[in-house]
Amino acid sequence: MKRTLQQSLLLALVTLFCLIGAGCMGPRIKGYKTKPYTVRGVRYHPMPPRSALGHTETGVASHYSEHWLIFPGKTATGEKLWPWTRAAAHKTLPIPCVIRVTNLTNGRSTKVRVNDRGPFIRNRVLDVTKPVADELGFTRRGLTTVKIKVLSVGDGPYRIR
């Protein structure tokens, strides 16, 4: 009896977790976000999806978080940004897209989905969430030099490689 109650509570919690958007369902982005936008008086023009494929760039990356305790932040695509979310932000890549990020300091690399805009600090090319920074090995330093390469653009039927 007690075990059944515990299982029922666990199932209810998992269901609630999924319903509030913790990532049980994949992203639902139709098309690409490529509209020009302005931040702090600077106008940014995201590149077209086809020309972004294979794009490489080298520069400084940092890490960020948009959540507060148990309340998720939101990305430019409207997706929830939880503390465990693996994501990245770039100023001009079409979003969403998948990139390979290589930490040039230690050689570690990983794939990550770009679904946010930023970093809006001069001389930075990429912001990644803490789990990605942990994987790349630069959480404690805060900044590192990276090389990025666009592997694919879009989700589902809009995905191009």
Q: Identify which of 99, 106, 115 has the alpha carbon closest to the alpha carbon of residue 149.
A: 99
Is 84 part of any domain? Answer: yes
Total number of domains constituting the chain: 1
- Distance CA(151)–CA(85), nearest Å, equals 20
Is 36 part of any domain? Answer: yes
Give per-residue pLDDT as tens, 36-67: 999 999 999 999 999 999 999 999 999 987 76
Give the model's confidence band at 25: pLDDT under 50 very low, under 70 low, under 90 confident, else very high.
very low
Instruction: Tell me the CATH number at 78.
Output: 2.40.40.10
* CA 99 to chain centroid: 10
Range of the domain at 133: 27-158
Q: What is the pTM of this model?
A: 0.79
Is 68 part of any domain? Answer: yes
